[in-house]
Copies of this chain bind each other. A is one copy, B any other.
Amino acid sequence: MNADRDTRRLILKSARDLIYSRSYSEVGVAAICERAGIKKGSFYHFFPSKRDLTLAVIDEFFVELKQQIFEQAFATDLPPLQRLLRLVELGYLFQKEIAQTLGQTLGCPFGNLAAEMSTQDEPIRQKVERVFEMMEGRLAETLQAAEAHGDIKDVDIPATAQAMLAYIEGIMLMAKTRNDPQVIRQLGPAMAEIRIRKTV
């Protein structure tokens, strides 16, 4: 049972690394098996298809980023709006570390999949949409705390959370396009100032 769990984790990790650094379409089951050092028959024991594996990769990646970035970013030791700045800084550090290791800036794994796959695979599109909704939820909670704290008012919180996430995704995409994580540090802090006003 433990060996099975280890093999499953190894497949997930191999797929995560390959798809994140290339793309969904460019990474086949054969390449994932080769990276994981397993046989194709073993792969299909764990995942019925590359799509099913990718849905699991998205879940795992969200857990990873929650632990590595979101929990620290949104910790309540700082005032709410400063947590947003910490989120941007942690996103920058995450991308910088990748760039130093791989020589490439990979951007947001969810945004990458959304851009490539939204028109081509409905379950993947829906899964990324749900991840974005969870991220918006964390941003919205932070904005509610900022409102309670008296830092913002008359703000449409759900729309502003969406706009902030859109900006983060846009900056991640720009950093990937320029292959330069510094873009995130330079442009990112403006995220905390985005407001969509309540329409009366």
Contacts and interface: CB of A to CB of B under 8 A. Distances in A.
A43 to B, nearest CB: 21
A193 B26 CA distance: 39
Interface stretch (A5-13, A52-60, A124-132): A124-132
Interface stretch (A73-81, A83-91, A114-122, A139-147): A114-122
A82 interface: no
Given A112-B115, A125-B179, A190 B174 contact: no
A170 interface: yes
A186 interface: yes
Interface of A: 21-23, 25-26, 104-107, 111-112, 114-120, 125, 128-129, 132, 159, 162-163, 165-171, 173-174, 176-179, 183, 186-187, 190, 193-196
